[in-house]
Amino acid sequence: MIPDRFEAPLSPTEEAQRRLMRIFGAPLTVSVPASVQAPVPAAPQNQSPLPGPIQGSVEEDPVALLQASHAAAQQSQVKTEEQIAAEQAWYGSEKVWLVHKDGFSLATVVKTEAGSLPEGKVKIKLEHDGTLLEVDEDDIEKANPPSYNRSEDLASLLYLNESSVMNCLRQRYGGNLNHTYAGPNMVVINPLSTPSMYSEKVMHMFKGCRREDSAPHVYSVAQSAYRNLLTTRQDQSIVLLGKSGSGKTTNCQHLVQYLVSIAGSTGKIFSAEKWQAVYTILEAFGNSSTSMNTNASRFSHVVSLDFDQAGQVASASIQTMLLEKLRVSKRPEAESTFNVFYYMMAGADSSLRTELHFNHLAQNSAFGILPQSKPEDKQRASQQFTKLQAAMKVLGISGEEQKALWLILGAVYHLGAAGATKDGDEAGRRQFARHEWAQKAAYLLGCTLEELSSSIFKHQAKGMQHSTSFRGKADDGGQGDNSVCEDQFIEAHLYRGALKSSQHSLCSLLIVDTPGFQNPRIAQQQRGATFEELCHNYTQERLQTLFHERTFVQEMERYKEENIELALDDIESSTSLSVAAIDQASTQALVRTLARTDEARGLLWLMEEEAVQPGGTEETMLERLFSYYGSAQGENKGASLLLRGEKPHLFLLGHSHGTDWVEYNAQGWLSHAKHNPAAQNAAALLQDSQKKNISGLFMGRASGATVLSGSIAGLEGSSQLALRRATSMRKTFTTGVAAVKKKSLCIQVKLQVDALIDMVRRSRVHFVHCLLPRAEAVGGGGEPRVTHGESPDSDLMTLDVGLLRAQLRGSKLLDALRIYRQGYPDHMVFSEFRRRFDVLAPHLTKKHGRHYIVTDEKRAVEELLESLDLEKSSHHMGLSRVSAVASHTPFIRHKRTKHSLTLLLSSDLLYTLYPL
């Protein structure tokens, strides 16, 4: 907590006690304002207004809001007689939720005589209007008392069901409490606003606190991961999951900001200011406006923070992958290219504009890169360009290096203005449609027009077919033209220097942020999803599969190994089948062959096969895909996650366990699997540039040839941990299937995701589920409505219950909560448990001696647990470790902390550390 600046001086003993409490993370008691009361549950409807935030001074101070909410949750465990009587009356009235298509409504079960209702029916009375209804028993769920409306942890709900979870999230969201614990995981609903909930004052509130002693917040996740890293010396990962526009990138930024600010860095070389500069550059070169989000990340990245023995940041690196380089030249209608182009066109000063030939911009572009028309948009973009230049300066990127980047981006713009002819010349090659613009591009790149034309068009054969998809037209420019421009942008995107290097790192903390689930229909777009959107959805599916693996598979395996028997019949633990439909490999994956086989394989492998097959088309590719994963004749279509679309080239894939059906348009997809020689020319063109600032910047770099490219920043002379991660990533691309398929662009998508999952799987993972509150917040390609302050409009605070329900079902959060509540999630090997907690049983140490050798660790732990007088049902003694229920370990840790404080405060050591 932040001490009062006018606080009276403390005595030496009081000061010592405060320091010790800060070290051990003991919670500080907080008085609860009288205004903090649990609201009476309303009758939530689809997109109904939410209960208002806590009133008074608490509303203006986010620290007070979090403290009051947390204190209220702690005090709710100790009830007065009136509260107990009220809850008993609640239970006696049998309150339930009526689940319907528009949401859920509070009702009371009406008692009827036996046999008066048909079997399976129940009579209820709606609370909001008194209507009497006869409904199916399956359509009602038990409701929790009002004291649970704003529970901090969904696992603590008395009745754990879908409606109760949504009601709790809704009540908290209406009170500006966007974060909620879900057992070991975190749920964050995007507030669609910029509140002061992420200030430096709030950061210090969580510093040093244990999870059970702090309110739900993304800072609590960062603090928990940081504490685990220091205590266990094990690598940690924080993985953000959710739909596009749900706030994953924003939360990633807050996580890194907290860790860098709280932990500090060796020599203060990597600071919060530098991270903000890094984020500014990533946002400019990797974000764009889409139908789902006006500032959507179009690449995946992993932020790696390496910590030294003192717990400070010793080095940092950023791994980027799956960048949509095709967005430079082709993209869905009403979507934009990368932000940096608009920033540069609006913000370049007169000197730079003259050098880039931007004084007279083209009226049209084959790439659709046009200056913004609205004055307010131009002003905002100009300000962002100034911010981008300042960020580059903070990271040590010189003026000449910056100019090289602007020259390359300017050349890409002029190539779009140059366009290409529809037909080839006598030699069968296409050529620029407007040579004056091509000449400008050649000048900026430091090459001749002939060299530029040759690098783009020399591989274009006469009569070469061009894929025509909704993203662009065949006469918008040649495929080679696009490829060179895209790779020039990639080369500019990949340039980033090391953030900080050190050879003395102990452990690493990784933060994974990928584009969220994409579905054009949510944004009311009547188009099929693109191949790039499929790749992003596939990445999210793989991360969801990792969540399933850690939450269900590994837990059940541990219970089996430790002879723990649990009745978990109501939990569905099946993984999503859509992953196999995308990436399943055949047993012949290492053999390159033109022969088609009947062995099932995923879409990415079918694309690679059909691309080299004579006469291969998207139609034959889809027919093979349906034969492997579609519903068989006479089979129920509901059992399949792959369906045919109403038009050719269209197919539907059920993501998130069939809760999010996305229609894809596969027209032109085989071009992603075909190797285009023109794409290799971009790096050579830049390396051979006559302009030294360009050639020197990219000398020795290989061209990024993948359809969704990636790079590693911060590896030059970096720490051993970062180099180990880089070696692991490169090994993925140089062994096994990767060695054979290294030329296959679509297969490299799978390989990059494999490398990402492998890197995260080696660590302890903390999951943050980001939820989108309503589709209209980002729909129709419009800009999300943003408010500044702590009191968002009631329209902004509206929840789409149907969308929220679909996200909860797709994430399998309720099943994860059930296995967390019914099982023994906390576990520790016998020797570690005894070492950490034998201080609570000093009589055992006295009995055996301080340095006694334990011959039977299991028996020693049993004696320790017996001395603590714990309920036997709260823990289970396995073969190699002790497992405990969710609330057991924090209780023991609290006793250990309290005991340690008592010993320290009563010893002479106190006066040695803090002399009077």
830 and 880 Cβ atoms separated by less than 8 Å: yes
pLDDT tens digits, residue range 248-272?
999 999 999 999 999 988 777 788 8
Where do the DSSP E strands lie in 580-737? 642-644, 650-654, 660-665, 708-713
pLDDT tens digits, residue range 352-396?
999 999 999 888 888 999 998 899 999 999 999 999 999 999 999
Q: Is position 248 annotated in a ligand binding site?
A: yes
Report the amino acid identity of residue 631: S
Residue 427 clears pLDDT 70, i.e. is over it: no
pLDDT (mean) for 39-53 = 45
pLDDT (mean) for 681-691 = 87
CB atoms within 10 A of CB 623: 14
Q: Read off the pLDDT band of 671 (50, 70, 90).
A: confident
Q: Read off the pLDDT band of 836 (50, 70, 90).
A: confident
Most confident of 81-85, 837-841, 886-890: 81-85
Distance between CA atoms of residues 784 and 480, nearest Å: 36
DSSP label of 267: G
Q: Is position 878 annotated in a ligand binding site?
A: no
pLDDT (mean) for 863-870 = 79
Q: Parse the chain into domains and list their residue ranges.
A: 39-172, 178-823, 824-913
Distance between CA atoms of residues 148 and 142, nearest Å: 13
Residues in the chain: 916
Residue whose entry in the numeric block shows the structure tokens 């540039």: 689
pLDDT tens digits, residue range 109-151?
998 888 888 988 999 999 988 999 999 999 999 999 998 999 9
pLDDT (mean) for 588-602 = 64
DSSP state letters, 353-370 = HHHTT-SS--S--TT---
Q: Is position 245 annotated in a ligand binding site?
A: yes
Phi, psi of 454 (to 5 degrees): -65, -40
CA distances for 490 relative to 529, 710, 811, angstroms: 23, 9, 33
Q: Is position 249 annotated in a ligand binding site?
A: yes
The CATH label, of 3.40.850.10, 3.30.450.20, 3.40.50.11820, 3.50.50.60, for the domain at 178-823 is: 3.40.850.10
Q: What is the pLDDT of residue 12?
A: 43
Residue 884 clears pLDDT 80, i.e. is over it: yes
Q: Is position 246 annotated in a ligand binding site?
A: yes
DSSP label of 287: E
pLDDT tens digits, residue range 464-519?
443 333 333 434 444 555 666 766 666 565 544 445 555 567 899 999 999 999 99
Strands 300-307 and 313-324: antiparallel
Token code pair at residue 332:
């869905």
DSSP label of 788: B
Q: Read off the pLDDT band of 890 (50, 70, 90).
A: low
Cβ contacts of residue 907 below 8 Å, gap of 6+?
A: none
Strands 236-242 and 660-665: unpaired
Percent of the chain with pLDDT over 90: 43
Distance between CA atoms of residues 644 and 650, nearest Å: 7
Where do the DSSP E strands lie in 676-796? 708-713, 764-771
- 824-913: CATH topology is Alpha-Beta Plaits (3.30.70)
Q: Is position 428 annotated in a ligand binding site?
A: no
Strands 185-189 and 764-771: parallel
Strands 236-242 and 764-771: parallel
Angle of the 399-418 helix axis to the 375-394 helix axis, nearest 10: 140
Residue 572 clears pLDDT 90, i.e. is over it: no
Least confident range of 601-610, 795-804, 845-854, 868-877: 845-854
Residue 762 clears pLDDT 90, i.e. is over it: yes
- For residues 403 and 22, the model is more confident at 403
Q: Is position 244 annotated in a ligand binding site?
A: yes
Strands of 236-242's sheet in order across: 179-182, 185-189, 764-771, 236-242, 507-513, 300-307, 313-324, 708-713
Across the chain, mean pLDDT equals 79
- 39-172: CATH topology is SH3 type barrels. (2.30.30)
Strands of 660-665's sheet in order across: 642-644, 650-654, 660-665
pLDDT tens digits, residue range 317-358?
898 999 998 899 889 988 999 999 999 999 999 999 999 999
Distance between CA atoms of residues 834 and 831, nearest Å: 5
Q: What is the pLDDT of residue 878?
A: 87
